[in-house]
Amino acid sequence: MNEPCTCCHAASKTRLAGRALAGWVAVGLATLCGCTPTPPSVNYQVQELGVITGVLPLAVQLDLARWRSLKPGMKEAEVTALLGKPYRKDPRPTADSSPAVRHLYSWSYGEISFNSFNTKGTFSYAVVFHEGRVLEICDPWEGGFSPGGRPTVPELLIPNAGQILNHYPRFLDFRWQPSSGVYPMEYEVAVQVLEVDQSAAEHYEDYIRKTVDSNQATQLSEGKSKPEMDATAAGFARHLRERQGVHNTYSFRTHDIYLPLTWVGANTGRWRVRAVNHQGPSDWSAWRYFEFTK
């Protein structure tokens, strides 16, 4: 494999750690400074699959079609006729004795309870009563639950969109809200190391055009003929489209709503999640970007 030029080689060592990562960044930077890119010795799309084991969440399921028929103002007997007996309920308090105080109580009809070391918490379906009538209907997705049991798209929590990070070691905690749907459910997490920044990744065709134009300007100054330049530009653009600015993709599967990771290199990354159950997968969440600056 040919050595990258001095400017590319120096920049690559400060950008990403590891010989494989540094080699790829050297290729990307070479295209910007006019060097002839050479194929890397590693496949940038190699995926390393990690299965995160842990405690499966407890899922107490309910009939969502019946749940959607609940209405504020219903009496206890109407709720019981619709949903049956709750699996857990608060005792009914005495009637309010002061207009400034309301005594509320709750019946639980379903929950998804995570009990791993990192994510302890319960997401509940509950009916809140006041003096025998439904006051509030609570579910973990504020009414946006799955109508047929297929998973809904997970909501990403942290890292925040576009978050800039500068701590070292580069520990990362990926967290998301659980999906609605029939459990048991598994989450697939994709994390990508990028050779470009967020703006270039989101507007990749613009990035390709600017990069190819820059490379052609250098070739023109070196006296290359137009046919040579056109052929090089076409191959270069095709090469960039195949890579999509991605250095590497890491894939994980977990039943939890948490994924810890140690990041490699001061560079831009992105991540997304989808849920899968026996009915199939949800759509992927949108990519969310972050960047380590050192």
State percent of the chain over pLDDT 70: 82
Residue 247 lies in a domain: no
Residue where one domain finishes, among candidates 109, 138, 167: 138
CA separation for the pair 145, 180 (Å, rounded): 5
Residue 69 lies in a domain: yes
Give the residues of the chain that fall short of pLDDT 50: 1-46
Residue 81 lies in a domain: yes
**Domain shared by 93 and 129, yes or no:** yes
Q: What is the 3 state secondary structure string of 245-274?
A: CEEEEEEEEECCCEEEEECCCCCEEEEEEE
Residue 25 lies in a domain: yes
**Domain shared by 62 and 131, yes or no:** yes
Bond from prior residue into 184 cis (ω within 30 degrees of 0): yes
Residue 266 near residue 169 (C-beta atoms within 8 A): no
| Residue that has been written with the tokens 């052609």 in this structure | 216
CA separation for the pair 24, 37 (Å, rounded): 10
State residue 207's pLDDT score. Answer: 86
pLDDT digits (tens, 9 = 90+) for 20-77: 333 333 333 333 333 333 333 333 344 555 677 667 888 988 888 899 999 999 999 9
Residue 186 lies in a domain: no
φ, ψ (nearest 5 deg) of residue 246: -95, 125
End-to-end CA distance of the chain: 28
The model carries a pTM of: 0.73
**Domain shared by 65 and 113, yes or no:** yes
**Domain shared by 28 and 64, yes or no:** no
The residues near 22 (Cβ < 8 Å, ≥ 6 apart) are 12, 13, 15, 16
Residue where one domain finishes, among candidates 102, 121, 138: 138
- Can you give the residue range of the structural domain that contains 25? 1-42
Domain count, the chain: 3
Residue 48 lies in a domain: no
**Domain shared by 35 and 62, yes or no:** no
Residue 278 lies in a domain: no
**Domain shared by 70 and 134, yes or no:** yes
Residue where one domain finishes, among candidates 100, 123, 138: 138
> What length is written for the chain?
294
CA separation for the pair 264, 248 (Å, rounded): 11
State residue 245's pLDDT score. Answer: 85
**Domain shared by 77 and 129, yes or no:** yes
**Domain shared by 31 and 72, yes or no:** no
Residue 190 lies in a domain: no
Q: Apex CA 288: angle with CA 13 and CA 214, to 5°?
A: 50
Residue 187 near residue 281 (C-beta atoms within 8 A): no
**Domain shared by 62 and 36, yes or no:** no
**Domain shared by 35 and 87, yes or no:** no
Alpha helix stretches (DSSP H) within the chain: 6-15, 19-33, 64-67, 76-83, 198-202, 204-221, 226-243
Positive or negative, the CA dihedral 160, 161, 164, 168 is: positive
**Domain shared by 74 and 118, yes or no:** yes
CATH of the domain at 104: 3.30.1450
**Domain shared by 22 and 85, yes or no:** no
